[in-house]
Amino acid sequence: MRRRGFLKKSSLLGVSISIPSSFAVSLEETRTNFKNSPIVIATWDVKNATKKAWEVLKDGGSSLDAIEQGCMVEEANENNQSVGKGGLPDRDGNVTLDACIMNPEGNCGSVVFLKNITHAISVARKIMEDTPHVMLAGEGAEKFAYSLGYLKENLLTEKSRASWLEWKKTSKYKPIINIENHDTIGMLAIDNKGDISGGCTTSGLAYKMSGRVGDSPIIGSGLFIDNEVGGAVATGLGEEVVKTVGSFLVVELMKKGNSPQRACEEAIKRIVSKKNSNYKDFQVAYIAINKKGETGSFSIHKDFSMTEYRNDTNQNYESNYFNY
């Protein structure tokens, strides 16, 4: 997809803001859903996941059910080395999962450092619905999953084990931009009632330090929903998303009147404009949807994409990005 430069003056926040001429904006303006019909969007090229979510919505299911079932598709996909079973391990060789989910009422559930359970998104939902808590971690989260009837699984596949053993030869610890064009799976959905839900699920940064947690399970960073406004999810280097509470920021910008596209662009600008930012060395991307069904996506670097299912069409769009 081609790019063009921003105007140097913008009114993203209702005031005049100076924006570097290197900041790029989409040629394709925000896509709008003029019908009150369901929509699913997700980070990266995950058409099987959005297809499953769409099927739930088309049958009259809730946006929350669609999010859970859509995310479960990628969690079970062993070829996806950034989510669920088959995810790349930490530097000690352990696969640990993070996930969160949020419903239209503003309730949320989260799981961090979960081992031996493939469907972290489902455990997060049960935390939201069946406990007085928002987040469970480590052994406590695993015990809770077993109490629900989940069986212990070895999440480290031969493919991911081979990748880890190859990494150990040098043990270089540096985030790889768009590793395999994949990362956190973030998903947002609007159902037939117009209600919005969202979810994130990931195995985290490859070869991370044991115990590391990124943005994905943190409400407001990896995911945020305001059913009166819209929702947003993040992907990329979680530490940088956490520093700006990225998904909450995107939704707040929409609340102030910005389109999802403009809101995603401003959230990326907050990262790259920080003093001494080393943004050339990492990727962060956002996708967003508002109550009208308008969507947007933006990233620091090229090759990020968003999958969108609406009006019986399941498409992947290359995102526009910051042009440094």
Q: Looking at 30, 184, 235, 307, which residue is catalytic?
A: 184
Length reported for the chain: 324
Q: Among 321, 297, 313, 320, which Cα is nearest to 42's?
A: 297
Cα radius of gyration rounded to whole Å, the chain: 18
Q: Is 295 a catalytic residue?
A: no
Q: Among 73, 92, 93, 69, which Cα is nearest to 83's?
A: 73
Q: Are 193 and 218 in contact (CB under 8 A)?
A: no
What end-to-end distance do the CA atoms of the chain give, in Å? 17
Q: Are 279 and 272 in contact (CB under 8 A)?
A: yes
**Distance between CA atoms of residues 176 and 85, nearest Å:** 20
Pairing of strands 108-114, 135-137: parallel
Q: Which residues are annotated as catalytic?
A: 184
